[in-house]
Amino acid sequence: MVAGARPTVVWQGDQVQTVVIQDEDSSTWHKGSYRLVVRCAGEASLVAHFSLDGHSAVRQLQPCSPHGSVDQIEVRIGVDARLGKVVIVPAGESRAAVGYAIQKVG
């Protein structure tokens, strides 16, 4: 699962609205370890939730910087999974572009 850069905020009329990135993938995820790699550019604090059939990791990522930042979290599954979920939640006055990729690492 790969997601290109998306904004953490959008304009709704004259108001700024925070955008939560939320994706699901019902492909087969074979047992092993997976790494969610999050890239962002701008100014933002992000919390990432990465889940494979209920096995999950949640944590606050390193702050985004104007020159770009990369952070990651891992999930390990002992049996094949059928549902992958990624949720990235910007906090406060976040204004950044955020993208991610999931890599099988073991």
Domains of the chain as residue ranges with CATH: 2-104 (2.60.120.260)
Predicted TM-score (pTM) of this structure: 0.90
- How do residues 69-80 score in pLDDT, each as one tens digit? 999 999 999 999
Percentage of the residues of the chain whose pLDDT score is greater than 70: 98
Contacts of 24 (CB under 8 A, 6+ apart): 83, 84, 85
CA distance to 2, 23, 53, 56, 74, per residue, from 83 (Å): 15, 10, 5, 11, 16
